Amino acid sequence: MGVSQLSPYLRHRLISEEEVIAAVISNDAFDVAEKFVQEVVWRTYWKGALHRTPGLWSSYEERLNHLSRVEPSETWSSLYEAARAGNTHLPYFNEWVNELTATGYLHNHVRMWFASIWIFTLRIPWQLGAAFMYHHLLDGDPASNTLSWRWVAGLHTKGKTYLARADNITKYSDGRWNPKESELAAAPFHIEDEALGRPGEAIALPPFRHSTHPGLILTIDDLSVENILDMKPYKSVCIYDPQASEQSVLKGVFLQQATQDFRARLAGVRSDMAISVATSLAEVTNWHDIYDIDAVEILAPNIGPLSKPLRELIASLSQTRVSVAFLQRSWDATLYPLCDKGFFTLWERFKKRWGQREELSGVVPIMNTPLCNYI
Ligand SMILES: Cc1cc2nc3c(=O)[nH]c(=O)nc-3n(C[C@H](O)[C@H](O)[C@H](O)COP(=O)(O)OP(=O)(O)OC[C@H]3O[C@@H](n4cnc5c(N)ncnc54)[C@H](O)[C@@H]3O)c2cc1C
């Protein structure tokens, strides 16, 4: 069960999918590296799937809001407390909770068992489990996490659930964990899907005035310096992180280090460029005032918790003289439209595209597409 543990770095794009795949292929022939490359393309598949159906994210968020308001008499509420504290009657499950909260990482197979037991054995709403995992994972990713939980619950591929079995856990943990068959749900049950949430309203951007020295706004969804900063003589970069205070302690530390790493890499490419980190709209205003920026380009984040704050940011910028344009990674712009069928269709299409790799590099402006698919 060899793993790379690259996911926190890929999640925040400290390293890009393209760089990782190119590196493994330069060491091994494509067919040798194929299994690993496929894993990396799974990340793109989930992101593309969420991008194509942003209402899945809003319905998940709405359900979470609702669940946070329900009375504690709900049948699952004491189990929910026990699960989060790693204090259930299932010692292996408790170990996974403790590992997750202490390290911010779980092996993929453990994530599958964890989600399945949460849903079908403990019978706690899947959205609460997804939110718990998202909060603690260093690689917590709105698309991979939410859609993987939906897949376990039988909502991604309708009717196809993932049921954790005692013998599978014993076998794949080499006997480290030995659940009794009677402790685990013997069969999955049907879970009714939520109605698709409404994606955010289409947003009109203030008209973009060409500027020779615009400012660049990035988010923690994409902290790659390379391929962007050589595009234009940006005046300054602002990393907008409105949810900094909501992270787990471990993730907060990881993201602080990621930002330091970003600064160091930027200094290597553009030593003259200033970087600011803004956690509020007021700090963004401060940033564009200080650097006298009248046009900003924003590298679009992915559908997820940044969507709402980004909408507020645009609304706030519209009140100023600053004009706004959106950019997207060519990787995402090329591959998301290919995520309209299952993973293996994307995989076949991806292999053809990899031959024209230059199309997958760099960034492109987002033109004539409703921004509600991005934020
Ligand atoms: C319930 C559940 C929740 C999950 N939540 C997340 C999450 O929040 N964030 C996240 O990045 N992944 C998530 N995954 C996918 C997967 O478990 C992790 O990406 C993987 O375990 C990361 O470890 P690694 O880097 O050692 O992976 P490796 O096995 O070394 O794979 C290499 C890279 O491929 C990608 N990858 C591998 N498997 C998957 C997969 N199934 N889906 C998407 N990308 C994959 C990752 O970027 C990973 O770094 C989840 C899976 C499940 C079943």
Q: Using CA positions, which residue lies closest to atom 18 of ligand 1?
A: 108
Residues of the chain with CATH 3.40.50.620: 215-329+362-373
Which residue of 35, 108, 117, 146 sits with most ligand 1 atoms within 8 Å of its CB, as the best mutation to test the pocket?
Answer: 108
Mutation pick for ligand 1 pocket among 10, 110, 139 (CB with most ligand atoms within 8 Å): 139
CATH of 7-183, one of 1.10.10.10, 3.40.50.300, 1.10.579.10, 3.40.50.1820: 1.10.579.10
CA of 40 to the centre of ligand 1 (A): 8
The confidence score (pLDDT) of residue 199 equals 65
Pocket test for ligand 1, best of 120, 148, 254 (most atoms within 8 A of CB): 148
CATH 3.90.1300.10 fits 215-329+362-373, yes or no: no
Weakly modelled stretches of the chain, pLDDT under 70 = 1, 199-208, 229-231, 367-375
- Contact of 266 with 275, CB cutoff 8 Å: yes
Atom number of ligand 1 nearest to Cα 162 = 53
SS3 236: strand
E-only strand ranges, the chain: 215-218, 236-240, 274-278, 295-299, 323-329, 363-365
Residue (of 107, 339, 362) closest to 222 by Cα position: 362
Instruction: Give dist(CA 344, CA 335) in Å, integer.
Output: 13
Q: Which two tokens stand for residue 85?
A: 């504290």
Q: What is the pLDDT of residue 365?
A: 84
What's the 116 CA to ligand 1 centre distance in angstroms? 16
In the chain, where does the domain assigned CATH 1.10.579.10 lie?
7-183
Pick from 240, 38, 8, 241: nearest CA to 141 = 8
